[in-house]
Amino acid sequence: MLSIINKTVWSIATVLIVFSSFYYTFKLKFIQIRIDKMFKYLFKNENKKGISSFKALMMTLAGRIGIGSIAGVALAIYVGGPGSIFWLLFISFFSASLSFSETVLGIRYRTKEKDVYRGGPSEYIDKGLKKKKLGRIYAFIILFSYIVGFIGIQSNTITKALTSSLTIKPYIIGIIVSTLTILIIYGGVKKIADASSKIVPIMAILYIFTAIVIVLKNINLIPNVFIEIVNNAFNFKSITGGFVAAFVTGIQRAIFSNEAGLGTGSIASSVSNTDSSVKTGYVQMLGIYITSFLVCSATSIIILTSNYKTLSLTDINGIELTSYAFDYHLGNIGNIILLISIILFAFSTILTGYYYCESSTKFLIKKANQKHLNILKILTISSVFIGCIISSTTLWNVVDILIGVIAIINIYTLLKLYKDVLIEVYDAKKNKI
């Protein structure tokens, strides 16, 4: 039953995200090709107080570049074939316009707390759409999904990665990861942003550098890899096993990896200290390109240049395929690099996931005090620890359904508030931004 509901919800969500991606791309006149403006505003801070655009981007990337970029891409290749990577990149390009629009709305309707801002879909649903109840539903689903599922699943992945290589008890890992989480989240959003700005560049550079080494080792295979991706993407001879499988799988993996259309990225991007929503929107589009075109592409190249087709796997979750590919290319060193990547990817997602929960709590409880936030921190740490020692297969299905629901709510809001986005863009052009 959960599986049927999950497929139904995501069928609707996928159609809405694809449609809105094209809609905003044409409405904004292919704004996602302005790479020059993305880099121009990345390191330009208008206000020394608060959180810089760079740190806000790192927070967003911490949430986006997760296990889905490692295991999710592998699963896409295994289920949908190499052609799924073409469609993943295809929809990622167009959905960058959604990331821009979410960011613009997040900044436009955000709330200021001392010298730090807070925003996201709940705020622009409430203030822009004038539907407070729908905003509260969105906030509650985010809070429930991350506390009950996503945060625990990240720590569970760290545990599986470590126990497969080292003889260490899961509860020991739980204590270590929980302690590190406590030290950071008790410092508030600034501490989370600082940690993300250090962890994310390291993990991204390490992973992409590894992919470059593997490309250079297998440079003669690269042309054939690209040909295979394109041929499989447009394989109309086998509709069910070719084009359709590649198209649907690629789009769904793109949605899960870069989060464009879910609205979660605008929660993190709203903390930026910039006074211009459009400037922040340009910067945040970089997150889509880094996640999909660099990290996800790196994973696909590592797998597609390996001998992965000889594997016969059942009940696959994706990480087995990636692990095989790393070992195939680099031996034990590859396993160590993958282990480090998994730990960094998962831990950074835990930190940003907590902030999503804190922002949602403050929206649901207008006068939220330190007592409320302490309870949230305890629940977060509990989720981290429990995730290290239990399995969450059924919970994944429930969380997937809830995330599909928030995607539907957010896309509905984006389509209704498109005029607000266009007004911000028009004002920016008038001010020569």
pLDDT tens string 175-218: 888 888 888 888 777 788 788 888 888 888 898 999 999 999 99
Residue 400's pLDDT is what?
Answer: 74
The values of phi and psi at residue 305, to 5°, are: -95, 5
| pLDDT tens readout for residues 382-400 | 888 887 777 656 666 677 7
**Which H or E element spans position 31?**
none
Residue (of 164, 172, 203) closest to 335 by Cα position: 164
DSSP state of 166: S
The answer to whether residue 76 scores a pLDDT higher than 50 is yes
Among 78-87, 103-112, 241-250, 424-433, which stretch is predicted with the lowest mean pLDDT?
A: 241-250
Q: Which two tokens stand for residue 49?
A: 């107080």
| Residue 113 parent element (H or E) | strand 111-113
- The length of the chain is 433
Candidate from 122-131, 263-272, 328-337, 393-402 with smallest mean pLDDT? 393-402
What's the pTM? 0.87
Which residues are CB-neighbours of 177 under 8 A, at least 6 positions away?
155, 158, 347, 350, 384, 385, 388
Mean pLDDT calculated for residue range 48-77: 78
